[in-house]
Structures are given as structure tokens and as C-alpha cells.
Amino acid sequence: MFSLRNKTAVITGGGSGIGKAIAKVFAKQGATVQILELHEENAKQVAREIKKENGSVHTHICNVADQKEVINVFEKIGPIQILVNNAGIAHIGKADTTKEEDFDKLMQVNVKGVYNCIHAAIPQMRKSGGGVIINMASVAAWTGIADRFAYSTAKGAVAAMTLSVAKDYIHENIRCNSISPARVYTPFVDGYLKNNYAGKEKEMFENLSKTQPIGRMGRPEEVAHLALYLCSDEASFITGCDYPIDGGFIKLNTP
């Protein structure tokens, strides 16, 4: 079950965190993994780990916010069956404390980057007779999170794009779903704590963990296994859906 043999999977932001976990799980399940990553050394490190397990992987240095770069990479890769739009950046701030340049940068990466990859992927999926697109949304798209104005806005757009793509391409055998993680423990969390709570990292880590009703942060591998199911043939009846993976954050966080 959940085999991805004979499938080519493009994973953006596959050099760290959730993207890295997805790349490794997909390779383990037989996919030829194509990592799109801005940071070359991160991509190479993940590729080394995958190859050590006899997986098939290729890396491409690409800024998803640049449409020409994205199109060139997808044309180089050729026909694909899977796209995981995982690349993204974070931002902390309210509407009145978010600078215009920060808002624009977030939209360029988290919204336009997703559009660019879908725009480039659809022609390659047509060559394969269909495919699956997974967009990484967030619980921030569905519930209010303090100081996440721009990030929530971007993830809300990703959720809307998912529905639009699912409807537009349903008769071309192209499925599109989104995943909405709550807080997942990645290197970003360590950096966030170090930069904002120096000397209090352990205390704040516990506080962040407790914001999830289940009492801990998610693990990147847990998100990867959900992505695996949604991209597998076993999920062929699923399109136009969002899947929270949030330790109860959305439904159980009400006092």
C-alpha cells in the first residue's frame, strides 16, 4: 500500500523541516524525488541521506517566487505525477505592525510561489495523464492566531487556490488537496526561540508545545505520512479537501 513507484514527485522547500521529511518518505516509497530548494547545501544534504537509503533524488536550486526559474526547472524535469507545494516563509506581526516590504515578500513566496509551481506543473501532469497536487496550508488559514496577520492571509489564499485547482482540473485526472499543520517541531522553531527568547528556550518550548491540546508539537514525519496517503492511489477518490494535522488545535482549543 501507498507505493509511489514509477512516479516523479516535485517537492518545494525539500531541504529542511516538513519538506525534508516528505522527500525522504516519498523516496522510501519508491518515488523519484525532485527537490526544489533555495538553499543548495540543504538540498544536497537531503539528497545524500536519500541516496544512502538507495532512493532516487535530484536537486534543483530554484526561487519559487521567480516564474521563469520555476518554468525552466519543471521543463527540465519533464512529466510528473506529484507536486507538493511546501516552500514558504513565516512572519510575525499584526496588520499595523507588518511592514509593506515584509507583506509583499510573504505574498511572493507563500502565494505566488504556489501559483508559479502549479502553473508550471499542470502541463507536465497532462503529459502523465494526471497527477496530484498537495498545497501546504496551515491552521492559521482557519482560525485566528495572534501576530500572524500576513502569514494567515497567505495561507488563506493557499486554501482557496486548492479548491479552485481541484474544481478546474477534476476532469483531467488531476487531484488537489491541502494539509493544514499546527505547530510542527522543525529547525525553524529552534531559531525562533533562540532569536526571541534567548536564555528561556526550554521554558518557551514547553509553552509552545502546550498550545496544542494534545500537549506536544507535531513531527515532520507525521505530516509526511499524511502527504504520502493523499498522493497515493489509495486516495484517488479525494480532491478539493483540506486536512488539519493539528493535535486538536482547531476543534479543541476553545476554552
> 115 an active-site residue?
no
DSSP H or E segment with residue 58: strand 56-61
For residue 214, the Cα-to-chain-centroid distance in whole angstroms is 22
Q: Which single residue is written with the C-alpha cell 504520502?
A: 228
| Catalytically annotated residue among 151, 192, 229, 243 | 151
- Read off the C-alpha cell for 224: 509526511
The rounded distance, in Å, linking the Cα atoms of 20 and 184 is 13
Kindly calculate the radius of gyration of the chain based on its CA atoms and give it in whole angstroms: 18
Specify the long-range contacts of residues 44-53, CB closer than 8 Å, at least 24 apart.
45/15, 46/14, 46/15, 46/16, 46/20, 49/24, 50/23, 50/24, 53/24, 53/27, 53/28
Which strands form 56-61's sheet, in the order they lie side by side?
Answer: 56-61, 32-37, 8-12, 82-85, 131-136, 174-181, 242-245
List, by residue number, the catalytic residues.
Answer: 151
